[in-house]
Amino acid sequence: MAADARWAWAEIDLEAIRHNVAHIRDVVAPSAVWAVVKADGYGHGAVDVARAAIDAGAEGLCVALVGEGIELRDAGIDASILLLSEPPPETAPLVVRYRLTPTVYTERFVEALVDERPAGMPVHLKIDTGMQRVGVQPEAAAAFARLIEERSSHVRLAGVYTHPALADDPDDPATAEQLDRFADAVSVIPDGPMLHAANSAGALAHPAARMSLVRVGIAMYGLSPGRGVDHLCTELRPALELRARVSFVKQVRAGSRVSYGLRHTFERDSMLATIPLGYADGVPRRLSSTGGEVLIRGVRRPIVGVVTMDQLMVDCGEDDVQPGDDVVLIGSQDGPLGSQQITAREWADSVETISYEIVCGISERVPRIPRRSIDS
Protein backbone atom coordinates (compact mmCIF):
# COMPACT_ATOMS: atom_id res chain seq x y z
CA MET A 1 0.00 0.00 0.00
CA ALA A 2 1.34 3.46 -0.84
CA ALA A 3 2.75 5.22 2.17
CA ASP A 4 0.35 8.13 1.85
CA ALA A 5 -2.79 6.13 1.11
CA ARG A 6 -3.93 6.47 4.68
CA TRP A 7 -3.03 8.53 7.71
CA ALA A 8 -1.77 5.53 9.64
CA TRP A 9 1.38 3.48 9.33
CA ALA A 10 3.94 1.39 11.20
CA GLU A 11 7.38 2.94 11.10
CA ILE A 12 10.12 0.31 11.06
CA ASP A 13 13.59 1.20 12.28
CA LEU A 14 15.87 -1.20 10.42
CA GLU A 15 18.87 0.38 12.09
CA ALA A 16 17.40 -0.80 15.41
CA ILE A 17 17.14 -4.34 13.97
CA ARG A 18 20.81 -4.19 12.95
CA HIS A 19 21.77 -2.84 16.36
CA ASN A 20 19.81 -5.55 18.18
CA VAL A 21 21.27 -8.36 16.07
CA ALA A 22 24.79 -7.02 16.62
CA HIS A 23 24.17 -6.78 20.37
CA ILE A 24 22.77 -10.30 20.60
CA ARG A 25 25.70 -11.64 18.57
CA ASP A 26 28.07 -10.06 21.10
CA VAL A 27 26.17 -11.63 23.98
CA VAL A 28 25.98 -15.15 22.57
CA ALA A 29 29.33 -15.41 20.73
CA PRO A 30 30.68 -17.82 19.60
CA SER A 31 27.15 -19.15 18.96
CA ALA A 32 25.59 -17.96 15.70
CA VAL A 33 22.39 -15.92 15.51
CA TRP A 34 19.54 -17.08 13.30
CA ALA A 35 16.84 -14.44 12.87
CA VAL A 36 13.23 -15.49 13.33
CA VAL A 37 11.16 -13.59 10.75
CA LYS A 38 7.93 -15.59 10.76
CA ALA A 39 4.56 -13.82 10.88
CA ASP A 40 5.89 -11.13 8.53
CA GLY A 41 8.81 -10.49 10.80
CA TYR A 42 6.59 -10.24 13.90
CA GLY A 43 4.65 -7.57 12.03
CA HIS A 44 7.76 -5.58 11.07
CA GLY A 45 8.04 -6.78 7.44
CA ALA A 46 9.84 -10.08 6.89
CA VAL A 47 11.93 -9.21 3.84
CA ASP A 48 13.31 -5.93 5.15
CA VAL A 49 14.00 -7.41 8.59
CA ALA A 50 15.68 -10.48 7.08
CA ARG A 51 17.97 -8.29 4.98
CA ALA A 52 18.83 -6.07 7.95
CA ALA A 53 19.50 -9.08 10.16
CA ILE A 54 21.80 -10.70 7.61
CA ASP A 55 23.53 -7.36 7.15
CA ALA A 56 24.22 -7.32 10.87
CA GLY A 57 25.66 -10.83 10.85
CA ALA A 58 22.73 -13.21 11.31
CA GLU A 59 23.79 -16.49 9.71
CA GLY A 60 20.36 -17.94 8.96
CA LEU A 61 16.64 -17.22 9.02
CA CYS A 62 13.68 -19.02 10.56
CA VAL A 63 10.04 -18.96 9.48
CA ALA A 64 6.92 -20.92 10.38
CA LEU A 65 5.35 -21.49 6.98
CA VAL A 66 6.47 -22.64 3.56
CA GLY A 67 4.84 -19.53 2.08
CA GLU A 68 6.91 -17.34 4.38
CA GLY A 69 10.08 -19.03 3.13
CA ILE A 70 9.02 -18.62 -0.49
CA GLU A 71 8.45 -14.90 0.08
CA LEU A 72 12.05 -14.54 1.24
CA ARG A 73 13.43 -16.55 -1.71
CA ASP A 74 11.31 -14.56 -4.17
CA ALA A 75 12.88 -11.42 -2.70
CA GLY A 76 16.29 -12.82 -3.65
CA ILE A 77 17.38 -13.85 -0.16
CA ASP A 78 19.84 -16.72 -0.37
CA ALA A 79 20.51 -17.50 3.31
CA SER A 80 19.49 -20.77 4.95
CA ILE A 81 15.81 -20.66 5.87
CA LEU A 82 14.68 -23.05 8.61
CA LEU A 83 10.99 -23.99 8.80
CA LEU A 84 10.33 -24.10 12.53
CA SER A 85 7.81 -26.92 12.36
CA GLU A 86 7.29 -29.77 9.96
CA PRO A 87 5.13 -28.65 7.04
CA PRO A 88 2.36 -30.80 5.52
CA PRO A 89 3.79 -33.65 3.35
CA GLU A 90 2.19 -32.25 0.21
CA THR A 91 4.42 -29.18 0.45
CA ALA A 92 7.57 -31.29 -0.04
CA PRO A 93 7.97 -30.28 -3.73
CA LEU A 94 7.93 -26.59 -2.75
CA VAL A 95 10.28 -27.16 0.17
CA VAL A 96 12.78 -28.73 -2.21
CA ARG A 97 12.28 -26.26 -5.04
CA TYR A 98 12.77 -23.23 -2.77
CA ARG A 99 15.67 -24.80 -0.85
CA LEU A 100 13.92 -24.42 2.51
CA THR A 101 15.36 -26.36 5.45
CA PRO A 102 12.52 -28.29 7.03
CA THR A 103 12.17 -29.29 10.62
CA VAL A 104 11.30 -32.99 10.68
CA TYR A 105 9.74 -35.31 13.23
CA THR A 106 7.54 -37.74 11.30
CA GLU A 107 8.59 -40.53 8.98
CA ARG A 108 5.73 -39.59 6.68
CA PHE A 109 7.22 -36.18 5.99
CA VAL A 110 10.76 -37.51 5.54
CA GLU A 111 9.44 -40.00 2.97
CA ALA A 112 7.57 -37.21 1.17
CA LEU A 113 10.84 -35.28 0.95
CA VAL A 114 12.81 -38.30 -0.25
CA ASP A 115 10.17 -38.87 -2.96
CA GLU A 116 11.25 -35.53 -4.42
CA ARG A 117 14.80 -36.90 -4.83
CA PRO A 118 16.70 -33.91 -3.39
CA ALA A 119 20.48 -34.27 -3.18
CA GLY A 120 21.70 -34.13 0.42
CA MET A 121 19.04 -31.69 1.52
CA PRO A 122 19.64 -30.37 5.07
CA VAL A 123 16.92 -31.10 7.63
CA HIS A 124 16.72 -30.32 11.36
CA LEU A 125 15.28 -32.86 13.78
CA LYS A 126 13.09 -31.41 16.51
CA ILE A 127 13.03 -33.11 19.91
CA ASP A 128 10.22 -32.35 22.32
CA THR A 129 11.88 -32.02 25.71
CA GLY A 130 8.92 -30.57 27.56
CA MET A 131 7.07 -27.96 25.52
CA GLN A 132 4.64 -30.71 24.40
CA ARG A 133 3.97 -29.01 21.09
CA VAL A 134 5.79 -30.84 18.30
CA GLY A 135 8.84 -33.06 17.96
CA VAL A 136 9.99 -36.62 18.56
CA GLN A 137 10.23 -37.82 22.13
CA PRO A 138 13.82 -37.74 23.47
CA GLU A 139 14.04 -41.55 23.59
CA ALA A 140 13.01 -41.79 19.92
CA ALA A 141 15.54 -39.23 18.66
CA ALA A 142 18.43 -41.62 17.93
CA ALA A 143 16.22 -43.96 15.90
CA PHE A 144 14.87 -41.01 13.94
CA ALA A 145 18.39 -39.76 13.26
CA ARG A 146 19.24 -43.24 11.90
CA LEU A 147 16.18 -43.13 9.66
CA ILE A 148 17.53 -39.90 8.16
CA GLU A 149 21.03 -41.36 7.88
CA GLU A 150 19.62 -44.31 5.90
CA ARG A 151 18.31 -41.83 3.32
CA SER A 152 21.50 -39.78 3.28
CA SER A 153 21.77 -39.50 -0.48
CA HIS A 154 18.63 -37.35 -0.32
CA VAL A 155 18.46 -35.83 3.17
CA ARG A 156 21.16 -34.87 5.63
CA LEU A 157 20.79 -34.30 9.38
CA ALA A 158 22.15 -30.74 9.57
CA GLY A 159 20.61 -29.82 12.91
CA VAL A 160 19.03 -31.22 16.04
CA TYR A 161 17.08 -28.94 18.31
CA THR A 162 14.51 -28.34 20.98
CA HIS A 163 12.46 -25.41 22.23
CA PRO A 164 12.20 -24.09 25.79
CA ALA A 165 8.78 -23.47 27.30
CA LEU A 166 9.79 -21.22 30.18
CA ALA A 167 13.11 -19.59 29.35
CA ASP A 168 11.77 -16.16 30.30
CA ASP A 169 11.63 -17.29 33.94
CA PRO A 170 15.32 -17.85 34.67
CA ASP A 171 14.62 -18.92 38.25
CA ASP A 172 12.43 -21.84 37.22
CA PRO A 173 14.33 -25.14 36.83
CA ALA A 174 12.22 -26.16 33.80
CA THR A 175 14.75 -24.87 31.26
CA ALA A 176 17.68 -26.69 32.86
CA GLU A 177 15.56 -29.86 32.94
CA GLN A 178 14.73 -29.50 29.25
CA LEU A 179 18.41 -28.93 28.43
CA ASP A 180 19.34 -32.07 30.39
CA ARG A 181 16.79 -34.13 28.45
CA PHE A 182 18.14 -32.65 25.22
CA ALA A 183 21.76 -33.47 26.16
CA ASP A 184 20.78 -37.07 26.95
CA ALA A 185 18.95 -37.42 23.64
CA VAL A 186 21.77 -36.01 21.50
CA SER A 187 24.44 -37.98 23.33
CA VAL A 188 23.38 -41.05 21.33
CA ILE A 189 23.27 -39.24 17.97
CA PRO A 190 26.56 -39.20 16.01
CA ASP A 191 28.41 -35.85 16.11
CA GLY A 192 27.99 -33.49 13.20
CA PRO A 193 24.63 -31.76 13.27
CA MET A 194 24.33 -28.24 14.69
CA LEU A 195 22.60 -28.24 18.07
CA HIS A 196 20.22 -25.48 19.15
CA ALA A 197 17.79 -24.86 21.97
CA ALA A 198 17.41 -21.12 22.55
CA ASN A 199 14.76 -18.59 21.69
CA SER A 200 15.42 -14.96 22.74
CA ALA A 201 14.98 -15.62 26.44
CA GLY A 202 17.09 -18.76 26.20
CA ALA A 203 19.82 -16.85 24.37
CA LEU A 204 19.89 -13.99 26.85
CA ALA A 205 19.29 -15.77 30.16
CA HIS A 206 20.61 -19.33 29.74
CA PRO A 207 24.20 -19.54 28.49
CA ALA A 208 23.94 -23.35 28.43
CA ALA A 209 21.16 -23.09 25.83
CA ARG A 210 23.27 -21.18 23.28
CA MET A 211 25.04 -24.15 21.63
CA SER A 212 25.68 -23.86 17.84
CA LEU A 213 23.11 -21.15 17.22
CA VAL A 214 20.28 -19.23 18.84
CA ARG A 215 16.92 -18.62 17.15
CA VAL A 216 16.14 -15.05 18.04
CA GLY A 217 12.80 -13.40 17.39
CA ILE A 218 11.35 -10.93 19.85
CA ALA A 219 14.68 -9.56 21.13
CA MET A 220 15.78 -8.75 17.59
CA TYR A 221 12.69 -6.55 17.36
CA GLY A 222 13.85 -4.73 20.48
CA LEU A 223 11.24 -6.19 22.82
CA SER A 224 11.77 -8.18 25.96
CA PRO A 225 10.48 -11.77 25.94
CA GLY A 226 9.06 -11.30 29.43
CA ARG A 227 9.42 -9.53 32.75
CA GLY A 228 11.82 -12.11 34.16
CA VAL A 229 14.45 -11.16 31.57
CA ASP A 230 13.77 -7.40 31.27
CA HIS A 231 17.10 -6.69 32.96
CA LEU A 232 18.88 -8.43 30.06
CA CYS A 233 17.12 -6.32 27.44
CA THR A 234 18.21 -2.82 28.39
CA GLU A 235 20.50 -2.51 25.33
CA LEU A 236 17.75 -3.44 22.88
CA ARG A 237 15.95 -0.81 20.80
CA PRO A 238 12.28 -1.28 19.80
CA ALA A 239 12.08 -1.32 16.01
CA LEU A 240 8.40 -0.55 15.47
CA GLU A 241 6.32 2.54 16.05
CA LEU A 242 2.62 2.67 15.26
CA ARG A 243 1.74 6.15 14.11
CA ALA A 244 -1.17 8.04 12.60
CA ARG A 245 -2.55 11.51 12.05
CA VAL A 246 -5.69 12.95 13.58
CA SER A 247 -8.36 12.56 10.91
CA PHE A 248 -11.17 14.59 12.47
CA VAL A 249 -11.83 16.75 15.51
CA LYS A 250 -14.94 18.05 17.17
CA GLN A 251 -15.99 19.76 20.37
CA VAL A 252 -18.24 17.58 22.54
CA ARG A 253 -20.36 18.68 25.47
CA ALA A 254 -20.24 17.32 29.02
CA GLY A 255 -22.79 14.52 29.29
CA SER A 256 -22.52 13.43 25.67
CA ARG A 257 -21.54 9.83 24.89
CA VAL A 258 -19.27 8.27 22.31
CA SER A 259 -18.76 5.19 20.06
CA TYR A 260 -20.70 1.93 19.75
CA GLY A 261 -22.77 1.19 22.80
CA LEU A 262 -22.34 4.82 23.93
CA ARG A 263 -20.39 3.42 26.85
CA HIS A 264 -18.28 6.48 27.63
CA THR A 265 -19.83 9.69 28.95
CA PHE A 266 -17.82 12.93 28.92
CA GLU A 267 -17.61 14.57 32.31
CA ARG A 268 -16.59 17.93 30.85
CA ASP A 269 -16.68 19.73 27.52
CA SER A 270 -13.85 18.21 25.50
CA MET A 271 -12.01 18.25 22.21
CA LEU A 272 -12.56 14.81 20.71
CA ALA A 273 -10.06 13.60 18.12
CA THR A 274 -10.65 10.69 15.77
CA ILE A 275 -7.68 8.50 14.79
CA PRO A 276 -7.98 6.39 11.63
CA LEU A 277 -6.87 3.08 13.17
CA GLY A 278 -9.13 0.38 14.59
CA TYR A 279 -9.33 -3.22 15.60
CA ALA A 280 -9.04 -4.38 11.98
CA ASP A 281 -5.58 -2.79 12.10
CA GLY A 282 -4.66 -4.59 15.31
CA VAL A 283 -5.65 -2.08 17.97
CA PRO A 284 -7.39 -4.24 20.60
CA ARG A 285 -11.06 -3.33 20.76
CA ARG A 286 -11.10 -3.27 24.53
CA LEU A 287 -8.10 -0.95 24.87
CA SER A 288 -10.38 1.92 25.82
CA SER A 289 -11.91 0.13 28.79
CA THR A 290 -8.48 -0.94 30.03
CA GLY A 291 -6.99 2.54 30.12
CA GLY A 292 -5.38 2.72 26.67
CA GLU A 293 -3.82 6.02 25.67
CA VAL A 294 -2.17 7.63 22.64
CA LEU A 295 0.27 10.53 22.32
CA ILE A 296 -0.78 13.74 20.58
CA ARG A 297 1.32 16.90 20.89
CA GLY A 298 3.52 14.98 23.31
CA VAL A 299 0.72 14.38 25.83
CA ARG A 300 -0.99 11.11 26.76
CA ARG A 301 -4.68 11.16 25.77
CA PRO A 302 -7.16 8.48 26.83
CA ILE A 303 -8.94 6.41 24.21
CA VAL A 304 -12.65 6.88 24.87
CA GLY A 305 -15.48 4.60 23.80
CA VAL A 306 -14.84 1.24 22.23
CA VAL A 307 -12.26 1.03 19.45
CA THR A 308 -14.19 0.55 16.20
CA MET A 309 -13.08 -1.46 13.18
CA ASP A 310 -11.24 1.37 11.43
CA GLN A 311 -11.17 4.28 13.86
CA LEU A 312 -10.85 5.20 17.50
CA MET A 313 -11.56 8.36 19.47
CA VAL A 314 -9.45 10.12 22.07
CA ASP A 315 -10.29 12.78 24.63
CA CYS A 316 -7.99 15.78 24.20
CA GLY A 317 -9.56 17.85 26.98
CA GLU A 318 -9.17 21.56 26.38
CA ASP A 319 -6.28 21.27 23.95
CA ASP A 320 -6.40 22.70 20.48
CA VAL A 321 -5.77 19.48 18.58
CA GLN A 322 -6.09 19.72 14.78
CA PRO A 323 -6.70 17.30 11.90
CA GLY A 324 -3.31 16.21 10.60
CA ASP A 325 -1.64 16.30 14.03
CA ASP A 326 0.84 13.47 14.60
CA VAL A 327 -0.41 10.62 16.76
CA VAL A 328 1.80 7.95 18.33
CA LEU A 329 0.03 4.78 19.41
CA ILE A 330 3.20 2.78 20.06
CA GLY A 331 6.48 4.69 20.20
CA SER A 332 7.67 8.03 21.50
CA GLN A 333 6.90 11.67 20.97
CA ASP A 334 8.39 14.88 22.39
CA GLY A 335 6.09 17.06 24.44
CA PRO A 336 5.99 19.83 27.03
CA LEU A 337 7.09 17.39 29.73
CA GLY A 338 9.87 15.84 27.62
CA SER A 339 9.80 12.67 25.57
CA GLN A 340 6.79 10.44 26.25
CA GLN A 341 6.66 6.77 25.36
CA ILE A 342 3.99 4.13 24.93
CA THR A 343 5.34 0.61 24.50
CA ALA A 344 3.93 -2.59 23.03
CA ARG A 345 4.36 -4.00 26.56
CA GLU A 346 2.05 -1.30 27.93
CA TRP A 347 -0.68 -2.35 25.48
CA ALA A 348 -0.01 -6.00 26.22
CA ASP A 349 -0.29 -5.51 29.97
CA SER A 350 -3.43 -3.51 29.50
CA VAL A 351 -5.24 -6.25 27.59
CA GLU A 352 -3.53 -9.14 29.40
CA THR A 353 -1.42 -10.48 26.59
CA ILE A 354 2.25 -10.34 25.52
CA SER A 355 4.13 -7.88 23.31
CA TYR A 356 4.45 -10.61 20.67
CA GLU A 357 0.71 -10.65 20.11
CA ILE A 358 0.52 -6.87 19.90
CA VAL A 359 3.16 -6.46 17.18
CA CYS A 360 2.12 -9.58 15.24
CA GLY A 361 -1.45 -8.32 15.41
CA ILE A 362 -0.79 -5.11 13.46
CA SER A 363 -2.57 -6.10 10.32
CA GLU A 364 -1.47 -6.12 6.72
CA ARG A 365 -3.49 -3.06 5.82
CA VAL A 366 -1.21 -0.87 7.94
CA PRO A 367 1.64 0.19 5.63
CA ARG A 368 5.13 -0.58 6.91
CA ILE A 369 7.44 2.35 6.26
CA PRO A 370 11.18 2.13 6.85
CA ARG A 371 12.07 4.92 9.24
CA ARG A 372 14.54 6.64 6.92
CA SER A 373 11.94 7.33 4.25
CA ILE A 374 9.90 9.28 6.83
CA ASP A 375 12.86 11.39 7.92
CA SER A 376 14.13 12.17 4.46
Ligand X SMILES: Cc1ncc(COP(=O)(O)O)c(C=O)c1O
Convert residues 16-55 into a mask of x (bound to ligand X by CB under 6 A) and - (unbound): --------------------x-------------------
The one segment of 173-181, 210-218, 255-263, 341-349 that binds ligand X by CB under 6 A = 210-218
The one segment of 45-53, 89-97, 110-118, 217-225 that binds ligand X by CB under 6 A = 217-225
Are 359 and 44 a contacting pair, CB within 8 Å?
yes
CA-only gyration radius of the chain, Å: 23
The one segment of 107-115, 193-201, 251-259, 312-320 that binds ligand X by CB under 6 A = 193-201
Are 177 and 142 a contacting pair, CB within 8 Å?
no
Active site residue 356: no
Is there binding between residue 294 and ligand X (CB under 6 A)?
Answer: no
Distance CA 42, CA 370 (A): 15
**Binding residue for ligand X (CB under 6 A) from 200, 270, 288, 355?**
200
User: Nearest approach, Cβ of 38 to ligand X (angstroms)?
Assistant: 7
CB nearer ligand X, residue 216 or residue 242: 216
CB nearer ligand X, residue 87 or residue 305: 87
Question: In this structure, what DSSP letter does residue 53 have?
Answer: H
Residue 41, C-beta contacts closer than 8 angstroms, at least 6 positions apart = 47, 48, 49, 50, 221
Question: In this structure, what DSSP letter does residue 88 have?
Answer: P
User: Nearest approach, Cβ of 132 to ligand X (angstroms)?
Assistant: 13
Residue nearest to ligand X (CB): 217
Is there binding between residue 215 and ligand X (CB under 6 A)?
Answer: yes
User: Where is 36: in which H helix or E strand?
Assistant: strand 32-36
**Binding residue for ligand X (CB under 6 A) from 121, 158, 179, 218?**
218
**Binding residue for ligand X (CB under 6 A) from 122, 138, 225, 278?**
225
* Residue from 275, 339, 335, 349 nearest 307 by CA: 275
CA distances from 196 to 47, 121, 163, 202 (A): 24, 19, 8, 10
Distance CA 48, CA 77 (A): 10
Is there binding between residue 95 and ligand X (CB under 6 A)?
Answer: no
Distance CA 104, CA 114 (A): 12
Active site residue 250: no
Is there binding between residue 199 and ligand X (CB under 6 A)?
Answer: yes
Convert residues 65-84 into a mask of x (bound to ligand X by CB under 6 A) and - (unbound): -------------------x
Is there binding between residue 178 and ligand X (CB under 6 A)?
Answer: no
The one segment of 9-17, 177-185, 209-217, 241-249 that binds ligand X by CB under 6 A = 209-217
**Binding residue for ligand X (CB under 6 A) from 41, 45, 170, 217?**
217
Are 270 and 316 a contacting pair, CB within 8 Å?
yes
* Residue from 179, 223, 363, 342 nearest 282 by CA: 363
| Strand pairing report for 368-370 and 312-315 | unpaired
Is there binding between residue 163 and ligand X (CB under 6 A)?
Answer: yes
Distance CA 138, CA 149 (A): 18
Q: Give me the residues that bind ligand X (CB under 6 A), please.
A: 36, 84, 163, 199-201, 215-219, 225
Active site residues: 38, 260
